[in-house]
Structure 1
Amino acid sequence: MDAPDVGTFAIDPTGRDILGDAERIRRIGSVARVEMPGGVRAWAVSDQGLLKRLLVDPRVSKDAYQHWPAWINGEISSDWPLFPWVAVRNMLSAYGPDHRRLRGLVAGAFTARRIAALRPRVEAITGDLLTELADLPPDGPVDLRERYAYQLPVTVICELFGISDDATREEVSRCVDALFNIGKAPEETVAAFPRLQQILRELIAEKRQRPGDDLASALIAARDDRSSLSEDELVDTLGLFVSAGHETTVNLLGNAVVAMLTHPDQLGLVRSGRVSWEEVIEETLRNQAPVPNLPLRFAVEDIDVGDGVRLRAGEAILACYGAAGRDPLVHGGDADRFDVTRAAKEHLAFGHGVHHCLGAPLARLEAAIALPALFERFPDLTLAAEPGELLPLESFVSNGYRTLPVRLAP
C-alpha cells in the first residue's frame, strides 16, 4: 500500500472512532481526500449542503462498470473488502435509465399504504420478542441487540421476501453481518458475497417451483414474465433488500436505546409526552447515522465543488452521511450533541435524491413500534455496562454496537 498523500486522511476500516474520524475529515475541508482499505482513494464529502447537491447531480454515478476507470481496467480485485459494494447489479449501483428501471420494479412494494399495512405484523413480532425477554432470568444482563434490536427487522424482512427456513435466515444474517463488518475479518467479507448470492439463487429456484405471496416471488414473476430484470439483477436486488432491510434498523434501534439510557432527562421528556418517539428516531438518525459512510459514487465528468477543488472524471466519492448529520453549518456549534428537543433534525441517514432509501418508511415504522413498546414493558431498563465499554462494530460503513448489555429490571 502506498503511503497517503499529504492531505489524504487514512480511514480506519475497523471504525473504532467513526464520528471522530468524521470530524477530522471535516477539518480538512467540506470535501477531502481519503484512503480506504486496500489503498483505494476517494473524495469524502462531509458538508451536508454539498453532499445533497452531489446526490442529485446527474454528473455523479453509482455505476462502477461505466464510470470508474480503476474498476473498468481491472485494478480492483475481488479480495478488496468493499468489492461487494461496487460489484452488485441492482438499483443501489445503477445509473440513469437502468436505475429508473430497477427502482420502478420494486417501488410499488414500499408505498405508504403497503408499509402501513405491515403495522399489525410488526406489532405482533415486537410483542413476541418482549415476551421472550420477560421470560429470561431477571437478575442477569441481556444482550438487547441480539435478542431484540436484531431479531425484529430480520424477522420482518425475511417474512416480506418469503425466507421462512430458520437455517437460511441465520446464514443470510451472517453473510450480511460480514458484508458490513469490513474491518473485522476482510476474508470473511470477501467470502460472504458469493455465498449470499448462492443462497439467493437457491431461494429463487425454490420460489420458481413454489411461488408464494411474498416480494421475492413477485420479483421473480416480473423477471420471468417481462424479462425486464436480468438474473444477476434479480439476485442482487434480493440481496440489497435482505441486507439493507435489516442492518440499518438494527443500528437505529440500538443507537436509540443507548441514547435514551444515557440521557435520562430526555427519556423523561418522552415519557411525559412532551417529546415524541418520532423525534427520538430522527435525532438518533441525525446524531448517530446507522450507515455513516456509503461507498461509492463516481464523477461522470469534471465537477467544480468550490474552494478550488475539482472532482475529476472517474474519481471515486464517499458519501459521509454521519458527518453530514453533524454538520455545524446546519446544526450549529452543538451539532455533535444528542438533543431530542432540537428544532431542526435534518439528516441524510437514508440518502437523498433518486437513491433515497425505499425502505426508510419501514425502518421508521419498526422503530416507532419497537422503542416505545420496549420502554413501556421494561420501565426500569438500564445499561449493564458503562457507555465507554460498549464496543462499536468493526466497520466504517456500519455504526452500531457489537453487543448491547442491559438489565431489564433492578
Structure 2
Amino acid sequence: MGCDRNCGLITGAVIGAVLAVFGGILMPVGDMLIQKTIKKEVVLEEGTTAFKNWVKTGTEIYRQFWIFDVQNPQEVMMNSSNIQVKQRGPYTYRVRFLAKENITQDPKDNTISFLQPNGAIFEPSLSVGTEADNFTVLNLAVAAAAHIYPNPFVQVVLNSLINKSKSSMFQVRTLRELLWGYTDPFLSLVPYPVTTRVGMFYPYNNTADGVYKVFNGKDSISKVAIIDTYKGKRSIYAVFESDVNLKGIPVYRFVLPSKAFASPVQNPDNHCFCTEKIISKNCTSYGVLDISKCKEGKPVYISLPHFLYASPDVSETTDGLNPNEEEHRTYLDIEPITGFTLQFAKRLQVNLLVKPSNKIQVLKRLKRNYIVPILWLNETGTIGDEKAKMFRSQVTGKINLLGLIEMILLSVGVVMFVAFMISYCACRSKPIK
C-alpha cells in the first residue's frame, strides 16, 4: 500500500513536471509559430492579406479642414495691424479611397514604391457648412507673385496688373475655390504663359501623390508600411509616447515630436528648412518648415495647427490662435505584433509668407513680414468596429489564448509538481504501520 501511495505521488509529480516543461517550451515555440504566421501575412507582397488591404484601404479616411477667416483685412493693409483670424470648420472630405498605382517592389532594401491617386468627396453630414461658404483669406496670387518676382521693375508691372484686375492683399473665396482652385483675375492679365488657376490643393482630383517609398516588412514586421522617403526626400518622423487601448486592441502611440519642427540650431537635421534671410532670425526661429522648393517657389510654410510648438515670434503677427496639444498634434497608433497602423491623425497647417513691397500698392503699407495661416487639416483614419472585432479574434485573441494556455500549463504543472513532491517527502518521513 505504501508503495502504491508513493508511486502515485511520484507519478503526479512527474505529470506536473511534464506540464510545466510543456508550458515553458510552448512559450518560445508558440511565439515563434505566431511570429512566422504573422510575418507571412503582414508583409507587403503579392498574395498576403496585408497587401490586399494596403493596395486599397477598406478603412474610411477623412480629411477635415478648418479655415482661418480674416476679420480685419483693411486694418492689416492700411496700418500693418496684427491679423485677426477666426477658425471655421470642420469641412470634411473622404479621401484616399482609390487603389495605389505604379506599385514596385525593391528587394535590395525591402521597400515598395507607389503613387497614391488623389480624390476628395465632400461629406455634408460631417461638415459645419457647404462648399459654397465664403471666407476672407489672403490673396494667394498676389502674395506669391511679390515673393517670386523681387525685381523692382517686374513688380511695377505686376502692380499695374493687380490694380487693373481690382485684386488686393485679401480676397473672398468659397471653400471649393480656396481648396480646389479658381481662375485668378490678376494672373489672367499676365501677358506671358502662366497658370491662371490657383488653389491651396490645386490640382488635386485626377492627380497622384508621391512617389512614396515604404518598407515592406520582410526584414522586420515592425517597419511595415513605414515611410522611408517621399519624393526622394527625408520624411518627418514620430517617437513612442505611450500604450493605448484601441477598441480592445493594445497599441503603441507614436507622436510627431516638437523637435521635428525645431530650428536648425536645435536640430541640425532641419538645416535644409532654414530661411535665414526671411523669417528665421539666423535660423533660431522654430515651428515652421519652408517647403517653397516643393511648391515652385511659392512662399508656402507648413506648421502644426495654431503654430503648436512654434517660437513666439512666428505667431506674433496673428491674433486668434489657441494651440492645444491634444487637438493639434499628430499621432499614429500602431499594433506592435503586426506593425499595422490602426488609427492615426495627421494634423498640419498651411501658411503663406507675405512681405512688404514698395512697388506693389496693396502691400506698400506693410511694415513687417507676416506668416499668414490659411487653413489647417486633420486627416484621420480608425479601424472600424467589424475589422477591430476580426483583428481581435484572428490576432490578439489567439495570442492571448495561447498565452493563457501557456500560463495555465506552467502554473498547474508547477503547483502539481511541488504539491506531490511535498506530499511524497512527508509520506516518506512517516513510518508505515
TM-score class normalised by the smaller sequence: under 0.3
Higher RCO (CA-CA < 8 Å; seq separation 6+): 1
More strand by share: 2
More helix by share: 1
TM norm structure 1: 0.23
